Amino acid sequence: MSRLYREEALLRTPKFHVTRKTYLDESGGPSRYVIRHPGAVGILPILPDGRIVMIRNCRPAIEEWLLEIPAGTAAPGESPEQTAFRELEEETGYTAHRLQKLLDFLPSPGVSDERMTLFLARELVPGPARPEADEQIELAPLSQEEAMSALESGTIRDAKTLIALLCLQTGRVPS
């Protein structure tokens, strides 16, 4: 962006900050409100039999349960790979012996600087899930056919999950 601006912190939470950007030039442009986010990951965990380890996640912002891939926000100083290993185990109990980066994307660049990295997880070993205190998560492993049916029927509405399943459907996910 070519304009200079002043940025003021309005809200700080453990997972994100909200700032107001006010442009300093003479254009008198409106202030913009931006969600500053440390980054996140989504994980597409595939079991040896081909099923996808998905979760049902209670999302308070929309007051609904969503069918999703596991995901989470980076902790301070944590790499995307470290976040992916941690979140997979916390949300599903599985640990991955193989983790492969698929792509990076911007979930909502109109309001946030969040960058999300999508990983493929294979060679999974089951264990106990350790969700955070404020999370309500249920395991929901689906065959790839069941996942694609849920995608096509509109049951899956979460952006990271849509992107992951479209990568799988279009052959972008290595076997």
Catalytic residue positions, numbered: 135
Query: Does residue 21 contact residue 6 with C-beta atoms inside 8 Å?
Result: yes
Query: Does residue 50 contact residue 87 with C-beta atoms inside 8 Å?
Result: no
Of the candidates 172, 66, 65, which has an alpha carbon nearest to the alpha carbon of residue 120? 172
Alpha-carbon dihedral 116, 121, 127, 132, rounded to 10 degrees: 0
DSSP H stretches of helix in 8-143: 80-92
Query: Does residue 6 contact residue 22 with C-beta atoms inside 8 Å?
Result: yes
